[in-house]
Amino acid sequence: MSDTDGKKPLGLGGGAGKRPGQVKQSFSHGRTNTVVVETKRKRVVVPKPGTAGGAAGGGSASHLGDPSKRPAGISDAEMERRLAALRAAKAREAEDTARRAEEERQREEDRQRRREEIEAKEREEREREAAIKARQEEEERQARAEAEAKAAAAAQRKADILGTKSRAQIQREQEEARAAAEAAKPAAKSREAAPAAPATEEEARGAAKQPATTVSPRKTDREREERDRDRGAKGKGDDGRRSGKLTLTAALDGEGGRTRSLAAMKRKQEKARNKAMGFGQKAEKQARDVQLPETIVVSELANRMAERAADVVKALMKMGMMVNMNQTIDADTAEIIIEDFGHRAVRVSDSDVEQVIDTVEDKAEDLESRPPIVTIMGHVDHGKTSLLDAIRKANVVSGEAGGITQHIGAYQVKTPNGSLVSFLDTPGHAAFTSMRARGAQVTDIVILVVAADDAVMPQTIEAIAHAKAAKVPMIVAINKCDKPDANPQKVRTDLLQHEVVVEAMSGDVQDVEVSAKTGKGLNDLLEAIALQAEILELKANPNRPAMGAVIEAKLDVGRGPVATVLVQNGTLKRGDIFVVGEKWGKVRALINDKGETVTEAGPSVPVEVLGLNGTPEAGDVLNVVSTEAQAREIADYREQAAKDKRAAAGAATTLEQLMAKAKADADVAELPVLVKADVQGSAEAIVQALEKIGNDEVRVRVLHYGVGAITDTDVGLAEASNAPIIGFNVRANATARNAAQQKGVEIRYYSIIYDLIDDIKSAASGLLKAEVRENFIGYAQIKEVFRITGAGNVAGCIVTEGVARRSAGVRLLRDNVVIHEGTLKTLKRFKDEVKEVQSGQECGMAFERYEDIRAGDVIEIFEREEVQRSLA
Ligand code: GDP
C-alpha cells in the first residue's frame, strides 16, 4: 500500500476531479486510499498592459513601435528587438492555433470513426446473438429428434428382445440413432466455442470505447498532452491495464448479460418443450407398440411409451390409483394407461425376454467331439480327494507346461492316448445335486470311488442313486488297492446288491483297481474314461455363442466376482457379453486351470471368467447374448422372478397356513445363523449340513448364506435376528468387525467343516429344553393327624424309605392315587424344625396350603433335577 507512486494510476478516476493534490486510489477488493500528490502547475504568464518586458503579452505590437508611447529609457534598437520578438511570438501563436485546430479536427474525426466502429460492432454483435439463438433452436430441435429416435430405437430393441424384430433391424436403427447423435454434436460444439469469441470482441469493443469515453472535449490540450506523455512513459501497460480493467468490467457485464439472456432463452425453450411434450401435443405424437409384461414398473411403462413418468403417474392418479413411479402396476391397468396415451399395448410374457438366448439346435455337421466331464463321487475317506490329486499330479509330471495348477474347481488332463478329460475337483454329492437342481447337468461320467479295504457305504449308495437319477454312466474305481487288507472282489460283489454290475462280474460298468497312494491303475482309469467318452459320443459345436455352467463362484478381493465356468457348448471368448443366472457381464479375462490367461475357451474347457456384475451361484447357466441391454434385461427379469418366488415361499397365504406356521414356530426352537464362505460349494455344503442338524424341537435356520467376506450388511441382518455369523475361510472386514462389536453380534471363524457343524450342533443343543427328571428320595406313612392351632393339620409320620427333606417336593398319595402335590410347610423332629429326617424315624409334617390329610396316607418325597440334553 505504501508504494503509492506505483499504484497511483490504478484509480485516478475518482480522485482526479475532487481536490487538487489529492488522489483517490481504488485497489482490488474495493479498498480505496486517498493520497496527496504533488501537482506541478504550469505557470501561465500573462503580461499586464503597460508592464515592461511583456514579451509574450497580449498587448498590440503597433503601439510598441510608436516611440511616443514607448516606455522611457528604451532605445530604438531595443525597441526593434522587442518588436521582432513580438512578431515572432505572434507568428508562433498563430501557428499554434492552427495546429491546435488541426489536431482538434483530427480528434473529432477519430471520435467519429470510433463511434461508427462501435456501432458497427454492436450491430454485428446483435446479428451474432440472433444467429446463436437460431442455431440453438435448431440444435434443440435436433436434440428432440434425436431423443425421439433413441426412444424409438429403445422401443424397437425391446421389440427385438421380445422376439418381434430381427437383430439386424435393431442394429440398423441404433446406428441411425447414433448417426443422428453425431450430427447433433458439431452444432453443440460450435455453440460451446461461441461464448469465447464474444469475450475477445468485447475486449476489442472495450478498448475502442475507452478513448471515446475518457477523452472529453472540454479537457485542455495541455492536459491531453500531459496524459499522452504520461501514457507514453508508462507504455502499453497503462493502456493495457486500463483497457483490461474496462474490458473485464465490460466483459463481465457483457457476459453476465448474455448468459442471463441465454439462460432465460433456454428456460423459455425448456418450458415450451415441456409443454409440447405434455398432453397438449397429442396431434404430432406417434403411436407406439408398447410391450406390456404381466406387471410393469410405472417409470418403465413411461419409458416404453416415451412419455414422462410424472404424466403417467398423474394419469394413474386420475384413475384413482395412488402410485409413484417406482411402483409396479398390473398389465390391465397399464393397458388402460397405454391406450389413454394413444399407444397400443402388446401383451408379452415376462419370460419372453429369455428368448434371445440362442437355443437353435446344432446341425450334425457342425458338431465336433468334446472331452468328457468327470465327477468323482464316493463315501467319505474312500479317497476321492487323493484320487483327484493323484490324477492331477500325474498329469503335471507327464509334462504339462507350467506345472503349477490352480484350484479353479475343475481341471483338464491328457490321457495316455492323448485325449483330454475334464475333472470337476469339487468332490461330493452336494455340489453334484445342487448343480443338477439348478438345471446344470455338467457331468458326463461319474467315477464311483470305493475303498477296497472298506465296503459299500451309505454315501456310496447315495452316489449310485445320484448317478442313476442323473442318468450318468459310472466307472467304479476300487481304491486303496495298495493296502494289504484290500479286497477288490468284495467291493464288486457288494456293488451287485445295488444293481451296479461291473465288467468283472460280466456287467457293463467298467471297474478299475487303483491306488491314489502309489499311482497304480491311474492310467487305466483315464483310459476307461476315454473309452466311456467314446461310447457316449460327446459332441459340441465350438462355433456358436457359448453356453456353460458355473461350477464355482467367489468374490475375489482383487479381481471382483469370479466364476469358474465349464463351457458346455460353443466357445466363450474375451469380450463376450453374457447372462449367468441372475447376473450378467462382459468377459474381461479368461483364466485356465493352469493360471494362464487365455482368449477363448471351447467345449468342456473350465475357465475362470472375470467381468461379472455380481457373484453367481454354482450351477447357474451361462449364456452368451448379443447386447448388454439383453443381458441386463434377462438378469433383471430372473432376479425379480427369484425374488417373487422367495416372497411367495416365505409368505403363508391362507389363514390355516399361517396358523400352522405359527404353531410350528412355537413348538420348534430355532437357532438362526448366517453363513459366509469362500466358495459357493462350501457354502452350500455347510448349509445342507446345518439344515440337517436338529430334531422336532430344535432346528438350525440359515437366514442367509453367501460367498465372500463378512460385511456390515451381514452384521445388520444377524443383529436383527439375533444370529451368530459363521465365516468359513472368510473374515469380516474392518467395518463389519466394528459393527459386530458394537451390536454384540458373534462372528465365528472356521476352516474345518466338521468343527463348524459340531459347534453349531452344541449351540443348538443349548436350545433344547432341559429335561426335568424326578428322583424319589423318600416315603413316609401318616400315622396320626393333629390339629394345631396356628399351624393347621400336622401329620405325625414315620419315614419308611429314604429321607424326608424339607426343601423337597411332596405328593400326598391315598390308595396309590396322587391327591395333592406341593411343598412342606414344616418338618419337625420332636419339637424342633429340622432339614432332614432319616428312614425309620418319626417326624411331623405339614403341607403348605393343604389341610386334607388323613391317617394312612402316604407322602412321597421327591427332588427335581434338570438334565441338559444334546443333539445326537
Ligand atoms: P475323501 O474323503 O474321499 O476325499 O478321501 P481322502 O482322499 O481324504 O482320503 C482319505 C484317506 O485315505 C487319506 O488319509 C488318504 O491318505 C487315504 N488314501 C486315499 N487313497 C489311498 C490309497 O490309494 N491308498 C492308501 N493306502 N491310502 C489312501
Best residue among 379, 381, 459 to mutate for probing ligand 1's pocket (most ligand atoms within 8 Å of CB) is 381
Check residue 597 and give its pLDDT: 92
Q: What is the CA(311)–ligand 1 centre distance, in A?
A: 70
Ligand 1 contacts CB of residue 555 (under 6 A): no
Ligand 1 contacts CB of residue 482 (under 6 A): yes
Q: What is the CA(482)–ligand 1 centre distance, in A?
A: 11
Q: What is the CA(540)–ligand 1 centre distance, in A?
A: 35
Per cent of the chain over pLDDT 90 is: 19
Give whole-number Cα distances, 102 to 105, 109, 288, in Å: 5, 11, 79
Q: How confident is the model at residue 537 (pLDDT cuts 50, 70, 90)?
A: very high
Q: What is the CA(490)–ligand 1 centre distance, in A?
A: 19
Single-letter amino acid, residue 168: A
Check residue 239 and give its pLDDT: 44
Q: How confident is the model at residue 197 (pLDDT cuts 50, 70, 90)?
A: very low
Q: Which of 56-60, 71-75, 548-552 has the highest mean pLDDT?
A: 548-552
The DSSP element (H or E) to which 390 belongs, if any, is helix 384-397
Instruction: Give the ligand 1 atom nearest the CA of 388.
Output: 7
Q: What is the mean pLDDT of the chain?
A: 76
338/347 Cα distance (integer angstroms): 11
* CATH 1.10.10, domain 289-348, yes or no: yes
Ligand 1 contacts CB of residue 380 (under 6 A): yes
Does the pLDDT value for residue 431 go beyond 70?
no
The residue whose CA is least distant from atom 25 of ligand 1 is 480
Q: What is the CA(380)–ligand 1 centre distance, in A?
A: 9
Mean pLDDT throughout 390-397? 70
Q: Which residue has the higher pLDDT, 605 or 35?
A: 605
Q: What is the CA(211)–ligand 1 centre distance, in A?
A: 102
Ligand 1 contacts CB of residue 479 (under 6 A): yes
Ligand 1 contacts CB of residue 429 (under 6 A): no
The DSSP element (H or E) to which 692 belongs, if any, is helix 680-692
With CA atoms as reference, report the closest residue to 392 among 412, 418, 372.
412
The residue whose CA is least distant from atom 19 of ligand 1 is 383
Check residue 219 and give its pLDDT: 46
Ligand 1 contacts CB of residue 426 (under 6 A): no
The residue whose CA is least distant from atom 22 of ligand 1 is 480
What residues are designated binding site for GTP? 378-385, 425-429, 479-482
The length of the chain in residues reads: 872
Ligand 1 contacts CB of residue 386 (under 6 A): yes
Per the structure block, which three cell numbers stand in for 338?
Answer: 397405454
Q: Which residue has the higher pLDDT, 498 or 262?
A: 498
With b for 16 or more beta-carbon neighbours within 10 A and e for fewer, the 558-580 pattern comes to eeebbbbbbbbbbbbbbebbbbb
Instruction: Give the ligand 1 atom nearest the CA of 518.
Output: 23
Check residue 74 and give its pLDDT: 62
The residue whose CA is least distant from atom 2 of ligand 1 is 381
Tell me if residue 236 falls in helix, strand or coil: helix
Least confident of 91-95, 435-439, 493-497, 508-512: 435-439
Best residue among 377, 386, 393, 481 to mutate for probing ligand 1's pocket (most ligand atoms within 8 Å of CB) is 386
413/419 Cα distance (integer angstroms): 8
Does residue 21 come out as left (phi exceeding 0), alpha (psi in the -120 to 50 range) or beta? left
Ligand 1 contacts CB of residue 480 (under 6 A): yes
Q: What is the CA(379)–ligand 1 centre distance, in A?
A: 11
The residue whose CA is least distant from atom 9 of ligand 1 is 383
What residues are designated binding site? 378-385, 425-429, 479-482
CATH number of 771-867: 2.40.30.10
Instruction: Give the ligand 1 atom nearest the CA of 389.
Output: 7
Contact 376, 512 (CB under 8 A): no
Check residue 510 and give its pLDDT: 93
- What does the pLDDT look like over 636-678, one tens digit per residue? 888 888 777 666 554 434 455 545 555 555 566 778 888 998 8
Contact 151, 281 (CB under 8 A): no
Q: What is the CA(416)–ligand 1 centre distance, in A?
A: 24
Single-letter amino acid, residue 760: I
Check residue 289 and give its pLDDT: 85
Ligand 1 contacts CB of residue 520 (under 6 A): no
Check residue 77 and give its pLDDT: 78
Mean pLDDT throughout 539-568? 90
Ligand 1 contacts CB of residue 488 (under 6 A): no
Does the pLDDT value for residue 32 go beyond 90?
no
Mean pLDDT throughout 325-329? 82
Instruction: Give the ligand 1 atom nearest the CA of 386.
Output: 7
Instruction: Give the ligand 1 atom nearest the CA of 380.
Output: 2
Least confident of 255-264, 691-700, 708-717: 255-264
Tell me if residue 577 falls in helix, strand or coil: strand
Distance, CA of 573 to chain centre: 26
Q: Which residues, in sequence order, are bridge partners of residue 708?
A: none
Ligand 1 contacts CB of residue 382 (under 6 A): yes
Instruction: Give the ligand 1 atom nearest the CA of 382.
Output: 3
Mean pLDDT throughout 275-301? 72
Best CATH choice for the domain 371-537 from the list 1.10.357.10, 3.40.30.10, 3.90.1150.180, 3.40.50.300: 3.40.50.300
Q: What is the CA(700)–ligand 1 centre distance, in A?
A: 31
Check residue 374 and give its pLDDT: 92
Pairing of strands 817-829, 809-814: antiparallel
Q: What is the CA(844)–ligand 1 centre distance, in A?
A: 72
Contact 740, 723 (CB under 8 A): no
Does the pLDDT value for residue 468 go beyond 50?
yes
Instruction: Give the ligand 1 atom nearest the CA of 449.
Output: 3
Q: Which residue has the higher pLDDT, 583 or 280?
A: 583
Ligand 1 contacts CB of residue 517 (under 6 A): yes
Least confident of 220-234, 541-555, 701-715, 732-746: 220-234
Ligand 1 contacts CB of residue 459 (under 6 A): no
What architecture does CATH give domain 664-765?
A: 3-Layer(aba) Sandwich (3.40)
Per the structure block, which three cell numbers stand in for 126?
Answer: 446483435
Ligand 1 contacts CB of residue 272 (under 6 A): no
Check residue 587 and give its pLDDT: 95
Per cent of the chain over pLDDT 70 is: 70
752/750 Cα distance (integer angstroms): 6
Per the structure block, which three cell numbers stand in for 771?
Answer: 429335561
Packing angle between helix 331-340 and helix 309-318, nearest 10 degrees? 110
Tell me if residue 240 falls in helix, strand or coil: helix
Domain boundaries, the chain: 123-195, 289-348, 371-537, 547-646, 664-765, 771-867
Q: What is the CA(381)–ligand 1 centre distance, in A?
A: 6
Does the pLDDT value for residue 872 go beyond 80?
no
Mean pLDDT throughout 52-59? 41
Least confident of 185-189, 521-525, 740-744: 185-189
What are the E-state strand segments in 767-855?
Answer: 771-788, 792-805, 809-814, 817-829, 832-833, 836-838, 842-847
Sole residue written with cell 441411425: 176
179/185 Cα distance (integer angstroms): 10
Q: What is the CA(382)–ligand 1 centre distance, in A?
A: 6
232/648 Cα distance (integer angstroms): 90
Q: What is the CA(386)–ligand 1 centre distance, in A?
A: 5
Q: Which residue has the higher pLDDT, 613 or 203?
A: 613
Mean pLDDT throughout 679-700? 83
Ligand 1 contacts CB of residue 515 (under 6 A): yes
- What does the pLDDT look like over 123-177, one tens digit per residue? 888 888 888 888 888 877 887 777 777 766 665 655 554 444 445 555 665 666 5
743/177 Cα distance (integer angstroms): 54
Q: Tell me whether the CATH fold assigned to 371-537 matches the one assigned to 664-765.
A: yes
The residue whose CA is least distant from atom 24 of ligand 1 is 480
Q: Which of 28-32, 263-267, 775-779 has the highest mean pLDDT?
A: 775-779
Q: What is the CA(461)–ligand 1 centre distance, in A?
A: 19
Does the pLDDT value for residue 358 go beyond 70?
no
Mean pLDDT throughout 511-540? 92
Does the pLDDT value for residue 203 go beyond 70?
no
Q: What is the CA(406)–ligand 1 centre distance, in A?
A: 21
Q: How confident is the model at residue 260 (pLDDT cuts 50, 70, 90)?
A: low
Full-model pTM: 0.45
Neighbours of 392 (CB within 10 A): 19
Check residue 721 and give its pLDDT: 74
Kindly state which CATH superfamily the domain 547-646 is placed in.
Translation factors (2.40.30.10)
The residue whose CA is least distant from atom 18 of ligand 1 is 383
Q: What is the CA(255)–ligand 1 centre distance, in A?
A: 84
Does the pLDDT value for residue 512 go beyond 90?
yes
